[in-house]
């Protein structure tokens, strides 16, 4: 790939932003990305604002300097009163002012819906400033020639005036006709509430009657029309009309698509825009098939270190079977940092990955993280990261992709099956979203809808996952249904996964000599060692603070007790008061070695750390994050199977109670069920069969 395609992912925040001002009206704009050609999205109809592009702008900003803006009446722009302020001419002049303020000279223009009127007029009036047009769900006129249409518009306005919430909900459902579009609808509703019925009525009245068909005929730049054939907002015929009006225009029909493919099908949309405006990539090298080395790309979830540690164990077992396979890693911090310390090769494209851990921190409360909604609101991060992945596997040859909870890759592969270029093995240690608040109808419905979409994906395209491996045993899968009318989670998993048993990143027998381990890591023979760890994010701050508050009582009862707080890289050491016997460490490499020789562990409810403690038979308490369905349901089910469900409710436990529980479990003999030690080898054997193209013969 050319160097310009490997520059770091800037962020999901704009590189520059500001306000243009026209006749006293301030208009918010932002530029995403710092290099490349200009690409601009004019303001759409006032029921939306610049965040409509959140799914595609981060990726496009790696190739372009992308301009987005809020139209007057929504977002961060002003809301001048009165019908006269919302004519189409005002909106058009606003957009020209935004381009000038951002410093764009020659620009590719992408319109969503009615913004087509703006870009067709601009391309006709300023041909020297326009390189390309992309018209999405658009039209060249908004005439009202038919009395029936006029009656519908009047009824629409009346609904807008009398039932704004109902109007917004109905409007957004009209935009997204595709199944499982709840996220797009909810985002659209949120954007709409940044304006009001009166402003929208002014806007509609100001745009009605606009006709730029003559402008469309004068366009001379390359033009792409994208339109869904199930668009219920702007009929498909309107898009075909634009295609026929603009000389030489190309038409890309979205079969089964609704009105906003940039939100509903972002991977397809972003690649279509990139390829149309930029054309083929620059200098490349093609290597003859038999000259290519055997290569695998391992996509590892960066949330915590548990995934990447087991993935490294699997990779090492795979190398035993295939010493000639080269493995590139594709992940972000903290997993990326761990792999580098272990001498593994990170692909340079990982520099462009958005950080998932930061997102989870931003939506967490005090020891509270609704994992379902946290993931649901991470769609722009997941889309951007998938696009980075898709660019990589398009540009470079891999014999195999392995994805450990690579939900972004798995989801977008099923939405864009043509993008799969090599065998794909999918791993996970849980299946199914489970609502934590079953009395909350919305959460229950959305969880079931997400599960149903996954089931439909796998049923329609079973070949996209060449093998699906459940990291665990059959009994570790919960028996709940996926939702009303949906199959049971375990019975569906039986049909669609194979089981490899749990994958430990170490051999417990190698850590059985606890005295040797303690000596190696600087723990004195007479000490009692307690270790508190909460993973690589700041979500565990509250738990560590409470453990630190409980420590004086624990030490009063056990004077030889030493407590090590492992805070992770995002919690400062000075956030904890100094106490005798208390030690704060930001990071401990291969923490499982320290846990294997401790007298007590106090940890979050994550699966990896808990199972490592079970395997080394260490006393521990776990504190699952409230509303975290994986920790509270899936992990606890598994720990129960191993006789190790030592969960404590953080929100119902005072520091004194925590100290009492901790001391009690520290002195209680453990009787855990043994953890299998061949899980990584079994997973590697299954992956090797895919690599050798032998799995289908079983």
- CB-based burial of residue 362 (10 Å sphere; 0-12 exposed, 13-18 middle, 19+ buried)? exposed
CA distance 255 to 250: 16
Per-residue pLDDT for 618 more than 50? yes
**What pLDDT was estimated at residue 131?**
98
Mean pLDDT within 435-445: 92
Q: Among the three residues 227, 254, 278, which one is the final residue of a domain in this structure?
A: 278
CATH number for position 528? 3.40.50.2000
Query: Looking at residues 37-59, what average pLDDT do you find?
Result: 89
For 307, the domain range is 289-504+681-697
Residues 181 and 257 in one domain: yes
Nearest Cα to 197, choosing from 229, 170, 158? 158
For residue 604, tell me if it sits in a domain. Answer: yes
Instruction: Work out the burial of residue 698: count CB atoms within 10 Å of its CB; fewer than 13 is exposed, 13-18 middle, 19 or more buried.
Output: exposed
Q: Are 44 and 52 in contact (CB under 8 A)?
A: yes
Look at residue 671 and tell me if it is in a domain. no
Per-residue confidence (pLDDT) for residue 8, from 0 to 100: 31
- The CA–CA distances, whole Å, from 250 to 139, 141, 613 equal 15, 19, 60
Query: Do 213 and 267 lie in a common domain?
Result: yes
Q: Are residues 112 and 138 in the same domain?
A: yes
Are 335 and 258 in the same domain?
A: no
Q: Do 494 and 617 have their domain in common?
A: no
Residue 695: pLDDT band by 50, 70, 90 thresholds?
Answer: very low
Q: Are residues 427 and 334 in the same domain?
A: yes
In a domain, 197, yes or no: yes
Q: Is 520 in the same domain as 661?
A: yes
Reference 626, options 361, 370, 315; nearest CA is: 370
**403 and 486 part of one domain:** yes
The answer on pLDDT for 294 being more than 80 is: yes
**How many domains is the chain partitioned into structurally?**
3
Same domain membership, residue 693 and residue 651? no
Helical segments of 49-163, H only: 57-60, 88-102, 116-125, 147-162
In this structure, the answer to whether residues 219 and 308 fall within a common structural domain is no
Position 522 pLDDT exceeds 80: yes
Query: 659 and 519, same structural domain?
Result: yes
Mean pLDDT of 426-450: 94
Query: Is pLDDT above 90 for 619?
Result: yes
pLDDT of residue 149: 62
Looking at every residue in the chain, the average pLDDT score rounds to 91
The yes-or-no verdict on residue 265 having pLDDT over 70 is yes
């Amino acid at each position: 790939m050319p160097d310009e395609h490997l520059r770091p992912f800037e962020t999901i925040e704009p590189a520059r932003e500001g306000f243009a001002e026209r006749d006293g009206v301030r208009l918010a704009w932002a530029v995403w990305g710092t290099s490349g050609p200009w690409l601009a999205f004019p303001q759409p109809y006032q029921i939306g604002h610049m965040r409509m592009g959140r799914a595609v702008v981060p990726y496009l900003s790696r190739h372009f300097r992308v301009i987005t803006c809020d139209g007057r009446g929504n977002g961060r722009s002003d809301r001048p009163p009165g019908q006269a302020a919302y004519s189409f001419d005002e909106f058009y002049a606003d957009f020209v002012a935004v381009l000038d303020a951002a410093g764009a000279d020659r620009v590719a223009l992408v319109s969503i819906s009615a913004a087509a009127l703006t870009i067709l007029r601009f391309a006709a009036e300023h041909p020297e400033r326009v390189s390309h047009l992309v018209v999405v769900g658009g039209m060249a006129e908004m005439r009202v020639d038919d009395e029936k249409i006029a009656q519908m518009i009047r009824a629409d306005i009346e609904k807008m005036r009398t039932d704004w919430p109902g109007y917004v909900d109905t409007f957004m459902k009209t935009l997204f006709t595709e199944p499982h579009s709840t996220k797009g609808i909810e985002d659209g509703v949120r954007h709409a509430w940044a304006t009001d019925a009166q402003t929208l009525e002014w806007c509609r009245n100001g745009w009605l009657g606009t006709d730029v068909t003559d402008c469309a005929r004068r366009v001379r730049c390359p033009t792409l029309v994208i339109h869904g054939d199930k668009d219920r907002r702007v009929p498909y015929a309107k898009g075909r009309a634009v295609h026929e009006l603009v000389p030489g225009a190309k038409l890309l029909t979205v079969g089964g698509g609704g009105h906003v493919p940039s939100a509903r099908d972002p991977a397809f949309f972003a690649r279509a825009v990139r390829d149309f405006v930029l054309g083929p990539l620059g200098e490349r090298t093609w290597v003859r098939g038999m000259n290519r080395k055997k290569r695998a790309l391992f996509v590892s979830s960066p949330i915590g270190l548990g995934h990447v540690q087991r993935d490294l164990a699997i990779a090492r077992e795979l190398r035993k079977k295939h010493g000639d396979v080269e493995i590139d890693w594709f992940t972000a911090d903290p997993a990326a940092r761990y792999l580098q310390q272990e001498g593994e090769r990170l692909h340079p494209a990982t520099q462009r990955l958005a950080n998932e851990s930061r997102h989870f921190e931003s939506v967490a409360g005090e020891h509270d993280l609704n994992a379902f909604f946290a993931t649901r609101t991470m769609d722009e991060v997941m889309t951007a990261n998938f696009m980075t992945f898709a660019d990589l596997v398009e540009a470079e040859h891999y014999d195999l992709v392995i994805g450990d909870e690579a939900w972004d890759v798995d989801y977008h592969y099923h939405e864009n099956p043509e993008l799969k270029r090599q065998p794909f093995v999918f791993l996970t240690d849980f299946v199914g979203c489970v609502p934590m608040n079953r009395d909350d109808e919305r959460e229950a419905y959305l969880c079931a809808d997400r599960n149903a979409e996954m089931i439909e994906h796998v049923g329609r395209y079973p070949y996209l996952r060449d093998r699906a491996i459940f990291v665990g045993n059959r009994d570790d899968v919960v028996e709940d249904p996926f939702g009303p009318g949906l199959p049971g989670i375990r019975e569906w998993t039986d049909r669609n996964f194979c089981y490899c048993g749990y994958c430990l990143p170490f051999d417990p027998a190698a850590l059985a000599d606890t005295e040797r381990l303690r000596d190696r890591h600087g723990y004195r023979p007479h000490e009692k060692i307690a270790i508190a760890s909460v993973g690589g994010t700041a979500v565990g701050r509250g738990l560590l603070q409470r453990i630190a508050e409980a420590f004086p009582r624990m030490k009063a009862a056990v004077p030889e007790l030493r407590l090590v707080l492992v805070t992770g890289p995002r919690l400062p050491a000075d956030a904890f008061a100094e106490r005798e016997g208390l030690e704060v460490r930001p990071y401990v490499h291969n923490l499982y070695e320290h846990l294997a020789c401790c007298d007590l562990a106090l940890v979050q409810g994550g699966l990896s750390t808990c199972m490592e403690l079970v395997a080394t038979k260490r006393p521990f308490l776990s504190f699952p994050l409230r509303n975290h369905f994986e920790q509270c349901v899936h992990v606890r089910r598994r720990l129960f199977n191993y006789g190790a469900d030592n969960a404590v409710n953080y929100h119902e436990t005072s520091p004194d109670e925590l100290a009492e529980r901790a001391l009690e479990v520290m002195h209680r003999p453990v009787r855990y069920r043994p953890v299998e030690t061949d899980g990584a080898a079994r997973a590697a054997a299954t992956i090797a069969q895919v690599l050798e193209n032998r799995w289908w013969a079983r």
